[in-house]
Amino acid sequence: AAKNGDMDLCFAGFFLVTNGVETAQIPKYAGKVFVQPQIVTMILTDMLGTAPEEATDCTVRMAVWQGIYRRSWLNEHKFQFASNKRFLSEDILFHMDCLPLAKRMCYLPDCLYYHTSDNILSWTHAYQSDHLERYGEQYLEELKKTKNLNNSAEMRRRIQRTYLGNVRICLQRLVSAANGMRWHDVKKTL
């Protein structure tokens, strides 16, 4: 599909594997081809998060492992990942750089990847004292990257919603991890 359609990016669905159970995750835009400005106004905007009035937090995944990318296009633009020591989600920052420069992309309806999420002790599930600060850095970087893009006002709304959701997650993880902490220390951290 990527070669036949002359795509810069080609994304597909995946199987989410949790405790040995596979669940098909079909992309929202399965079977569709996008060109500019749709790639920015629809795909990138949806990757940044959902509108505040929507019930779900995510309708379009931002993970780079969901697809393949044209190597010559990546090399031509010298795309690079942001530091994972500074930011918690370098995938969305990568997409914020590359999607505005993509000419064509597609979503396949097939599930072609297996993503395992069994490790509840991984850094994505555990409380880390620096996560709130890093989410703040992420938020500011995302706002900066959207300044000159089409649909920037809507993107800012979604970035803000995602940031507030991440703050909520940090607080939930702190409370969950507080079993061995004194309440005074938990309150101070909160």
Q: For every one of its 190 residues, what pLDDT tens digit does the chain have, with 9 covering 90 and above?
A: 999 999 999 999 999 999 899 999 999 999 999 999 999 999 999 999 999 999 998 899 999 999 999 999 999 999 999 888 888 889 999 999 999 999 999 999 999 999 998 655 555 556 677 888 899 999 999 999 999 898 899 999 999 999 999 999 888 888 877 777 777 877 777 7
**Which pLDDT does position 118 carry in this prediction?**
67
Whether 141 contacts 153, CB under 8 Å:
no
Within a 13 Å sphere around the CA of 25, how many CA atoms are in the beta-carbon half? Answer: 21
What is the distance between the alpha carbons of residues 99 and 44, in angstroms, rounded to a whole number? 7
Do you find a cis peptide bond into 109, omega within 30 degrees of 0? Answer: no
Whether 134 contacts 87, CB under 8 Å:
yes
**The pairing of beta strand 33-35 with beta strand 67-69:** unpaired
**Which pLDDT does position 125 carry in this prediction?**
59
**Which pLDDT does position 117 carry in this prediction?**
82
**Which pLDDT does position 5 carry in this prediction?**
97
**Which pLDDT does position 126 carry in this prediction?**
67
